[in-house]
Amino acid sequence: MLTLFGEEYHAETPVTPEMELSHYCDEKCIAPHLDPLDWWRVNETKYERLAQLARSYLCVPATSVPSERVFSAAGLILNRLRSRLHPDHVDQLIFLNKN
């Protein structure tokens, strides 16, 4: 063990994304009544990369503006000249337009 500034220094191997995912998959599932965002807050130092993804996917939009934009785009895609489009194709076009 090396000493650094009078304290013991332990060299840690960097955690790869694969190792982080593997450790996360080995965790027990949280109880259904618990808040997943709270769990990620507690474990964000343990799973840094996954915590960032969880925060972006578990967040709820604060406004209805994104959904209103989808309806607006749907109105532009499906109009009287394109009224014979199959509903599945309309869904695909809206998805491609917004993603």
Quick: pLDDT tens for 88-98: 888 888 888 77
pLDDT band at 55 (very low <50, low <70, confident <90, very high): confident
Q: Please determine, for residue 4, whether its predicted confidence score (pLDDT) is greater than 80.
A: no
List beta partners, residue 3: 8
In the numeric block, which tokens belong to residue 51?
A: 């915590």
Per residue in 14-43, pLDDT (tens digit) is 889 999 999 999 999 999 999 898 999 999
Percent of the chain residues topping a pLDDT of 90 = 34
**Please, what's the b/e burial string for 31-55 (b: 16 or more CB within 10 A of its CB; e: otherwise)?**
eeeeeeeebbeebeeebeebbeebe
More confident residue, 73 or 57: 57
